[in-house]
């Protein structure tokens, strides 16, 4: 796999992206229209009305994929340069799934003030900003300040993309297990960007805070702890449970955003009847599906991996969220738009699976159930179904 991946990235033209010309540039007249003197006319139009940048430039279909490499895709603090293959990959996914053009921008800066100012100053180039692989808690502050400063959508996918897909999958899994979100006892391990965003979106969807136990590297986040930052503190609860083993007793849901091989057999066996486990640590989940299913037959199980059923994959969300936001010129991506994406994903998973999708995965049949709680990433209906639903929510909420 290592050699194949390295060869994939270095063969032919190195990397995964290229820039293409989309207008004629063959004749003298073409060049005079593209640059001097013809280019002066759209410049003057934009000076008179900045909104015309969307008419005369690529801005309306261009997203910046921005990172500082402080929390790179399961690899930790790689630094800006080493994170570039991941950001190029994200830009590839934007183009592949929603025909959005992207520039990957790796910023060698960890100071929040300076990072925010750099992105603010380059923002006129873009129609949207996708923040990526920025460590918590800085990522919360960076996103908040950029949303306040800019009039284009800013979206930290590690937070909200993960939350949208996880919540959609969890709601469908709970439906299959004949359980309600309001009553579900939820254990979430991982109090970083993704974990906190998932819990916040679950609360918006009807989960009850008193039913949630959040754990970080020091154990259960409870009301007696004095080492909690402003993002963890809202999830501190009155409880005598301190360890993961304590928390798992009687739990209906396990959400894993931590490290591989974290769940023991005893922890899984101690969960309530018909539990849901979304073990999303990558590349090694908190427990492997074959291990969990061998322990008990009543589990609905998902991971972040493509080689198991029920992959929780952000590519089900961000291309279509940005497609919608760009098309309706949303200034922000708000909670209503996120929830609309959740519901559209849930609904699509319940529709008959097309022959195209079955062939792509070498399957004879597939239908809504324990091994299919989310649509497959190659389903072309994602582009048909999700953006219109998100756009409608943007209109209804005043974001468009």
CA angle 196, 165, 89 (to 5 degrees): 95
231 assigned to active site: no
For residue 34, CA distances in Å to 24, 30, 57, 102, 124 come to 9, 6, 11, 21, 20
Q: How many helices (H) and strands (E) does the chain have?
A: 16, 10
Residue among 54, 59, 84, 90 flagged as catalytic: 90
Sheet holding 154-156, edge to edge: 101-106, 62-67, 128-131, 154-156
CA 372, chain centre distance (Å): 19
Catalytic residue among 8, 13, 29, 35: 35
Handedness of CA 365, 366, 367, 369 (dihedral sign): positive
> Could you give the CA distance from residue 241 to residue 245 in angstroms, rounded to a whole number?
9
CA separation for the pair 146, 123 (Å, rounded): 10
Sequence-separated (6 or more) residues with CB below 8 Å from residue 165: 312, 313, 314, 316, 317, 345, 374
Q: Is 372 a catalytic residue?
A: no
- Give, in degrees to the nearest 5, the angle at Cα 171 between 387 and 143: 55
What residues are annotated to the active site? Answer: 35, 90
């Amino acid at each position: 796999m290592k050699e194949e991946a390295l060869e994939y990235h270095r063969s032919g033209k190195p990397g995964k992206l290229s820039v293409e010309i989309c207008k004629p540039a063959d004749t003298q007249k073409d060049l005079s229209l593209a640059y001097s003197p013809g280019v002066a006319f759209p410049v003057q139009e934009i000076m008179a009305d900045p909104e015309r940048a969307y008419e005369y430039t690529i801005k309306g279909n261009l997203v910046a994929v921005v990172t500082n490499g402080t929390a790179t895709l399961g690899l930790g603090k790689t630094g800006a340069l080493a994170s570039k293959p991941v950001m190029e990959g994200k830009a590839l996914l934007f183009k592949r799934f929603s025909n959005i053009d992207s520039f990957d921008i790796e910023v060698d800066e960890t100071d929040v003030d300076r990072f925010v100012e750099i992105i603010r100053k380059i923002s006129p180039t873009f129609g949207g900003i996708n923040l990526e692989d920025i460590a918590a808690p800085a990522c919360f502050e960076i996103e908040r300040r950029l949303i306040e400063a800019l009039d284009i959508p800013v979206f930290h996918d590690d937070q909200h993309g993960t939350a949208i897909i996880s919540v959609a999958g969890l709601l469908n899994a709970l439906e299959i297990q004949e359980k309600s979100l309001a009553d579900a006892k939820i254990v979430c391990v991982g109090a970083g960007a993704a974990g906190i965003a998932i819990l916040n979106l679950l609360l918006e969807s009807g989960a009850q805070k008193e039913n949630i136990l959040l754990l970080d590297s020091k154990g259960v986040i409870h009301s007696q702890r004095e080492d909690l930052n402003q993002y963890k503190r809202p999830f501190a609860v009155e409880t005598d449970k301190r360890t993961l083993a304590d928390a798992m007793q009687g739990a209906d849901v396990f959400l894993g955003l931590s490290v591989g091989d974290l769940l023991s057999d005893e922890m899984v066996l101690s969960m309530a009847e018909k539990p849901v486990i979304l073990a999303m640590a990558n590349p090694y989940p908190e427990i492997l599906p074959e291990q969990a299913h061998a322990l008990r037959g009543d589990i609905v199980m998902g991971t972040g991996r493509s080689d198991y059923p029920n992959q929780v994959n952000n590519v089900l969300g961000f291309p279509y969220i940005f497609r919608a936001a760009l098309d309706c010129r949303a200034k922000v991506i708000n909670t209503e738009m996120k929830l609309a994406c959740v519901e559209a994903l849930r609904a699509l998973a319940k529709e008959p699976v097309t022959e195209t999708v079955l062939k792509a995965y070498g399957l004879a049949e597939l239908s809504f159930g324990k091994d299919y709680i989310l649509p497959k990433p190659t389903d072309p209906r994602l582009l048909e179904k999700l953006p219109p639903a998100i756009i409608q929510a943007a209109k209804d909420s005043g974001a468009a």
